[in-house]
Structure 1
Amino acid sequence: MSDWKPRLIASDMDGTLLRWDDTVSEATVAELGRWRADGVPVVLATGRPPRWMVRIREVLGTGTAVCCNGAVLLDLERFEIVHEDPLDPEVLESVTTELRRQQPDTWFAVEYGLEFRHEPIYEPRWDVDAPGVAEATLAEMVAQPVAKLLARHESMTRDAFVDLVGDVVGDRATVTTSSTDALAEISAPGVTKATGLARVAAGHGVGPEDVIVFGDMPNDIAAFRWVRDGGGRAVAMAHAHPDLLDVATDVTGTNDDDGVFAFLRSLH
């Protein structure tokens, strides 16, 4: 694949495109600009909700972002949601009831596209005072479809809690994580970054064999498998979770070492 070049570039944000200080290097921005000038779309594929995309929009400007682990597609230029695959209230109620029965100290929050609701006891780590953020009861939160359900536990380890959530949820929804905390991210069944990326790529007439994707966490695994199995390049950051490294085709430097920039630059 020495002369291989992507027709679509996809990248996770936190821990991948963004450095640990939440910025994108000038070199990376310039490199992405060169590819876009050659007609190669740049797609962000993130667990972040749309409301966390304002600052990156100021950096990259245009394109489609795959948000909430594939549940939401956001047009960055217009800042409009163009597609959504939500979790149904019936599933939300059954999943939250069973999780709380098995682990009473599980706290919940939900993403509604541009809004965020959390139980009073749930402690948001970011954007606590941002517009669209509010407290609500669990009954209120699960009464309507949501883009993503968040379940947090303050004393269990991340992997043990995510495994527990996965066992409880079964095939009713998709469970993943992108956090170092015991935080499980729950989406509609079958919805992953892979499904979101596939939809965006198809809109550009691109298949997985022509896609390069960068990531660092377990919520990138589905996208890595889609790209790898289709003949594209799935590039893990040097510090990536071991489960993601297992399905990668390549490894690059860390986010603070501008690993995305370095790998793309090597393809010229």
Structure 2
Amino acid sequence: MSDWRPRLIASDMDGTLLHSDDTVGEATVAELRRWADDGVPLVLATGRPPRWMRRIREVVRTGTAVCCNGAVLLDLGRFEILEEDALPPAVLADVTAGLRAEQPGTWFAVEYGLEFRHEPVYRPRWDLDAPGVAEATLEEIVSAPAAKLLARHEDLPRDEFMRLVERVVGDRATVTNSSSDALAEISASGVTKATGIAKVAARHGVGPEDVVVFGDMPNDIAAFDWVREAGGRAVAMAHAHPDLLAAATDVTGTNDDDGVAAFLASL
């Protein structure tokens, strides 16, 4: 595969494209622009909601972002939501009731388009006073379709909590995790970063065999499997979660060492 070149670049953001201080390294910016000049589009595939994509537009001014782990396609240039695969209220109600019954200390929040609603007891790590962020009762939270349901537990270890969530949710929704916290990210059934990237790639007439995907956490596994099985490249960061490293075709440097830029420059 020494002469292999991607026709589309897809990258996770946190822990991958971004440095630990939430900036993009100069080497990465230069490399992405070099590929863009050659007509190769960049897709940002992230667990982040659309409202967290404003600052990255200073670096990536056009194109499509796959947000909320595949549930939302966002036009970065116009900053408009193009498509959303939402969890229906009935599933939201069933899942939250099941998890609360199993673990009463589970708290919930949801992403709705450009807004965020959380139970009063839920402890957001960011955006405490940001526009679009507000408290709501659980009944209000499950009353409308949501791009992503967040279930957090402050006391259980991450892996134990994730196993619990996966067992309770079953095949009613897709469960993943992208942080070191006991925080489950729940999307509509079948929705992953892979499905979101595939939609964008199809718009460019590109198949998975011509895609390179960069990532660092379990929410990137579906996208890794999608490209690897077709002959594309699935590139894990050096510090990636062990489960993602096991799914990778390649490993590059850390995010703070501009690992994405280093790998692209090697092609």
Q: TM-score, normalised by structure 1?
A: 0.99
Q: Does the alignment pair 1:5 with 2:5? A: yes
Counterparts of 1:37 and 1:83 in 2: how far apart (Å)?
Answer: 27
1:46-125 to 2 correspondences below 5 Å: 46-125=46-125
Counterpart residue number, 1:182: 182
- Cα deviation for residue 156 of structure 1 reads 0.5
Q: CA RMSD in A?
A: 0.4
Counterparts of 1:129 and 1:179 in 2: how far apart (Å)?
Answer: 22
Counterpart residue number, 1:193: 193
Given residue 85 of structure 2, which amino acid in structure 1 is its aligned partner?
D
Counterparts of 1:259 and 1:205 in 2: how far apart (Å)?
Answer: 27
Counterparts of 1:249 and 1:149 in 2: how far apart (Å)?
Answer: 31
Deviations 1:135-165 (A, max 9, x none): 0000001000000000000000111101110
Counterparts of 2:35 and 2:117 in 1: how far apart (Å)?
Answer: 38
Counterparts of 2:104 and 2:145 in 1: how far apart (Å)?
Answer: 23
**SS state of the match for residue 230, structure 1?**
coil
**SS state of the match for residue 150, structure 1?**
strand
Counterpart residue number, 1:173: 173
- Cα deviation for residue 127 of structure 1 reads 1.3
Given residue 106 of structure 1, which amino acid in structure 2 is its aligned partner?
T
1:198-237 to 2 correspondences below 5 Å: 198-237=198-237
Kindly report structure 1 stretches of 4+ aligned residues shifted beyond 3 Å.
Answer: none
Counterparts of 1:234 and 1:76 in 2: how far apart (Å)?
Answer: 24
Counterparts of 1:194 and 1:65 in 2: how far apart (Å)?
Answer: 13
Deviations 1:106-160 (A, max 9, x none): 0000000100000000010011111100000000010000000000000001111
Counterpart residue number, 1:137: 137
- Cα deviation for residue 59 of structure 1 reads 1.3
Counterparts of 1:264 and 1:126 in 2: how far apart (Å)?
Answer: 32
Structure 2: stretches of 5+ with no match in the other structure? none
Given residue 212 of structure 1, which amino acid in structure 2 is its aligned partner?
V
Counterparts of 2:261 and 2:160 in 1: how far apart (Å)?
Answer: 34
Counterparts of 1:113 and 1:177 in 2: how far apart (Å)?
Answer: 20
Counterparts of 1:215 and 1:39 in 2: how far apart (Å)?
Answer: 22
**SS state of the match for residue 185, structure 1?**
strand
Deviations 1:77-106 (A, max 9, x none): 000000100000000000000100000000
Given residue 72 of structure 1, which amino acid in structure 2 is its aligned partner?
V
- Cα deviation for residue 27 of structure 1 reads 1.1
- Cα deviation for residue 60 of structure 1 reads 1.0
Sequence identity (%): 80
Counterparts of 1:197 and 1:67 in 2: how far apart (Å)?
Answer: 10
**SS state of the match for residue 214, structure 2?**
strand
Counterpart residue number, 1:37: 37
**SS state of the match for residue 126, structure 1?**
coil
Counterpart residue number, 1:250: 250
Counterparts of 2:120 and 2:103 in 1: how far apart (Å)?
Answer: 18
Counterparts of 1:125 and 1:229 in 2: how far apart (Å)?
Answer: 36
- Cα deviation for residue 214 of structure 1 reads 0.1
Counterpart residue number, 1:153: 153
Counterparts of 2:186 and 2:145 in 1: how far apart (Å)?
Answer: 13
Given residue 134 of structure 1, which amino acid in structure 2 is its aligned partner?
A
Q: TM-score, normalised by structure 2?
A: 1.00
Given residue 54 of structure 1, which amino acid in structure 2 is its aligned partner?
R
Counterparts of 2:137 and 2:48 in 1: how far apart (Å)?
Answer: 23
Given residue 128 of structure 2, which amino acid in structure 1 is its aligned partner?
V
Counterparts of 1:27 and 1:244 in 2: how far apart (Å)?
Answer: 24
Given residue 145 of structure 1, which amino acid in structure 2 is its aligned partner?
P
